[in-house]
Amino acid sequence: MRALLGVQLLGALADNALLIVALALLAERGAQDWMAPSLRIALYLSYVLLAPFAGTLADSMPKGRLIVLVNLAKLGGCILLAAHAHPLFAFGAIGLAGVCYGPAKYGILTELVPAADLVRANAGIEIATVAAMLGGPLLGSALLDAPLWIAGLHTAPRQASLVVGVLCAVAALLAAAIPATAPGAAPRAHPLKRFHRQLAALWRDPQGKVSIAVTTLFWAVAAVLQFLVIRWAETVLKLPLGGAAVLLCCLAAGVVAGSLLAARFVAAAEALRVLPVGIVLGSAIVLTGQASSLWAACGALCATGIVGGILMVPMNALLQQRGAALMKPGASIAVQAFSENLASLVLLAVYGMLLAARAPVVTIITGFGLFVMASMLPMQGHRHGQRDF
């Protein structure tokens, strides 16, 4: 478990640093504003298109070995960026490799950890992820400000890409220490037909569809917030890219705190009781858009993160329990990843269109907050298993 946490920390640190570096590479090329969310769209498009095959691959080989290969592929993407490849192309290539990482990472949890400990194990994974969200933007900003010292790389963003690649290489070495798990037998059904059945099974399960709906909403909104906070900080608070990255750290710190609270006070059997927190999350996003000073923004984003962590960790654990009961672990995580990435793709596309239409950034934040509140309202009857939605 420690090796998996280390891999998650380093891999997510590299991912978050690489986003800041890629934004600098786009600015270096004089790219349009809508190109920034397109970085994530390139990733999510790969995840969505290959999701039917990701779970099968994750379940057909030792998941630790697959995690090694994924991190080596991410290293290749960093080398492409350093070699002056277009960031969209490099992110798409990273997405093609990384599509199997989610099913391998979360699928191996159900093989290494008893069901009763899944909330705590998920909290560990999410804390490592969000700790990387804290450090990644700071690392990316620091690398962009560092003097040039690698021969042949004439700009700071290209040099930073190669340094981030070193993190991916170390993560691959750590992944080799993950305990081996037995691969499953290769399924006979066609991947697309099998994936359709698995998708339907999880979305029809009473508890499964609630948990996957909440995690899908959470990660889709989080994908947009990552860009929206930077844009808002630059336009409203007049912060540079490095200063805007610090605000992302406030959001990430809040998620860490919320994850710890969920691990301490929410049992897996009581996961549905946190559903009202989703409405509070939408309210916190709306209030964030009204902040007019740096300290108010930090406080609002930290509160948003705390609420998000409290909501997300129990829902993720419940989803893994239901997924493992209905199908193989890798398959259930592939269904989850498909749903989350498809929703992220849609919301990022909406965000890109709003930017192209020159919508005010505060209006966009308010709109996303209201969207979260409206989406969570139909789910409130599930707190005590009262009704469907």
CA distance 298 to 188: 52
- The tens digit of pLDDT for each residue in 120-173 reads 777 788 778 777 877 888 898 889 888 878 777 778 888 999 999 999 999 999
Mean pLDDT of the chain, nearest integer: 83
pTM > 0.85: no
Q: DSSP string of 38-59?
A: HHHHHHHHHHHHHHHHHHHHHH
Three-state SS at 211 = helix
Residue-wise pLDDT tens digits, 212-247: 999 999 989 988 988 898 888 888 888 887 777 778
pLDDT at 361 > cutoff 80: yes
Structure-block tokens of residue 55: 């779970």
At which residue do the structure tokens 């997300």 appear? 312
Query: What mean pLDDT do residues 187-198 have?
Result: 76
What is the rounded CA–CA span in Å between residue 42 and residue 46?
7
Quote the tokens at residue 296.
């108010």
- Does the pLDDT of residue 385 top 60, yes or no? no
pLDDT range class, residue 188, cuts 50, 70, 90 = low
Per the rule left: phi > 0, alpha: psi between -120 and 50, beta: everything else, 314 is alpha
- Say yes or no to pLDDT of 386 above 60: no
Token readout for 209 is 């569809």
Question: pLDDT for 96-109, tens place per residue?
Answer: 777 777 777 777 77
Which of 183-187, 285-289, 313-317, 356-360 is predicted least confidently?
Answer: 183-187
- Residue 66 CA to residue 180 CA, distance in Å, equals 11
pLDDT of residue 330: 65
What per-residue confidence (pLDDT) applies to 388?
A: 47
**Helix residue ranges per DSSP H, the chain:** 2-28, 35-60, 63-82, 87-98, 101-112, 118-145, 156-175, 191-204, 206-235, 241-265, 277-288, 294-326, 329-356, 361-376
**pLDDT tens digits for range 19-72:** 889 888 888 888 777 787 778 787 778 778 877 777 677 777 787 888 899 899
- CATH architecture of the domain formed by 2-175+191-381: Up-down Bundle (1.20)
DSSP state of 183: P
Residue ranges covered by each domain of the chain: 2-175+191-381
Tell me the C-alpha distance between 304 and 29, whole Å.
34
- Closest to 308 in 3D by CA, of 320, 297, 319, 316: 316
CB atoms within 10 A of CB 290: 12
Split at pLDDT 50, 70, 90, the class of 368 is very high
